[in-house]
Amino acid sequence: MKREYPIELKMLKYQPKLNTTLNRYMTIDQLLDFLVNKHIPLIRLDLFEDKLEGTKIEHIVLNNESEKMASNLFSEFDRDFLNININPINRNKIRDEREIFQKTNFASCWYCSEHESVAMWNLYSHPNSVAVRVNYNALIRSLESGEINLSYPSKNGLKIGRVKYTVFRKADNNSPLDKDEFTPGFIKDESFSHENEFRLILEIEKISERNSIGAENLIKENLINWDNVHDLKAIFIQFAKIEEIPFEIIFHPRSNVWHQSNIKYILNNNNLNIATYKSNLCDILN
């Protein structure tokens, strides 16, 4: 039997406007999982493309200031300081914290825009993909309704907010370090600003290493089972009444008619009253 856990919501400082349209790009298998199981996944941050996911602005500043100091020493004392690392203990400590953060935080990412984007279709989909869209206010109301559950427990609550973009290479000691301005998991380099991202992030407790439970006392099959159970790659938000949330499906600009028909059949077969639309970019991309 699948276990379910309640969710506490934590609304961060930066939020989209109430009428903002949220878009999530899905492959056909992801769409089927969404429709049949009525849930959306939150993916572990270390599986994302950006290896600085979960970074703290303090870490960026420390790295930049340390590199600046090293550069000044190098120019003043020639090559003697070429291999010297500045602030290695603090930099390694914060790096380790980031790696733990990535292993214990899971995110669902949505593109904020009322209009379709050629770039986003090209980057995050292929012709058999779709964009699932929903109004921000409607999604928040559904999360607040209590008609949802998690597939894994968390004492930390579900953080909700927009991603803040900043130029990492320009961050220095004069940069504002307000925690409300730069929340780990919700800050990214300006080079990712085309994603215009809204996120749901869930943090779980750090899972103990299996050696701490006395691996030598367990048979191999149990060790394998333990690893599988604790190697969480995704946590799911389960909607009890997904049919009451005004989700919409936008077909890829290059999707085939039979592909669209199959998706409509699945919707009808599961009594899901989700509207479907052709892409507004069909004439541009075909």
Residue 204 lies inside a defined structural domain of this protein: yes
Can you tell me the distance from the alpha carbon of 282 to that of 286, in angstroms, rounded to the nearest whole number? 6
What torsion do the CA atoms of 14, 114, 239, 245 make, to the nearest 10 degrees?
120
Q: Where in the sequence is the domain holding 90, given as residue range(s)?
A: 9-285
Query: What is the distance of C-alpha 85 from the center of its chain?
Result: 32
User: What residue spans of the chain are helical by DSSP H?
Assistant: 28-37, 57-77, 88-104, 118-124, 136-144, 220-230, 257-269, 282-285
Assigned domain for 13 exists: yes
**What is the distance between the alpha carbons of residues 130 and 144, in angstroms, rounded to a whole number?**
26
* pLDDT tier for residue 91 given thresholds of 50, 70 and 90: confident
Spell out the residues 6+ positions from residue 61 whose beta carbon is closer than 8 angstroms to its own.
171, 172, 173, 175, 177
What average pLDDT score do residues 132-146 get? 93
Is 198 within a domain?
yes
Q: What is the pLDDT of residues 52-75, one digit of tens each?
A: 899 888 878 877 777 777 677 666
Residue 1 lies in a domain: no
Nearest residue to 114 via CA among 250, 284, 276: 250
Position 275 in a domain: yes
Domain count across the chain: 1
> pLDDT band for position 182 (50/70/90)?
confident
Q: What is the pLDDT at residue 187?
A: 92
Residue closest to 134 by CA, chosen among 110, 157, 160: 110
* DSSP run (H or E) holding 277: strand 275-277
CB 139 within 8 Å of CB 22? yes
Residue 263, pLDDT score: 94
C-alpha dihedral, 131 to 128 to 186 to 87, nearest 10°:
-170
Average pLDDT value over all residues in the chain: 84
The pLDDT of residue 57 is 81
Element spanning 276, H or E: strand 275-277
213 within a domain of the structure (yes/no): yes
221 or 183: which carries more pLDDT confidence? 183
- Average pLDDT rounded to a whole number, residues 222-229: 57
Please tell me the distance from the alpha carbon of residue 59 to that of residue 44, in angstroms, as a whole number: 21
| Position 208 pLDDT exceeds 70 | no
Mean pLDDT, rounded, for 245-262: 94
Q: Which residues, in sequence order, are CB contacts of 111 under 8 Å at separation 6+?
A: 22, 23, 24, 25, 117, 120, 195, 196, 197, 198
pLDDT above 60 for 127: yes
pLDDT at 210: 45
How much is the pLDDT for 218? 57
Please indicate, yes or no, if residue 135 is contained in any of the structural domains: yes
Residue 195 counted as domain residue: yes
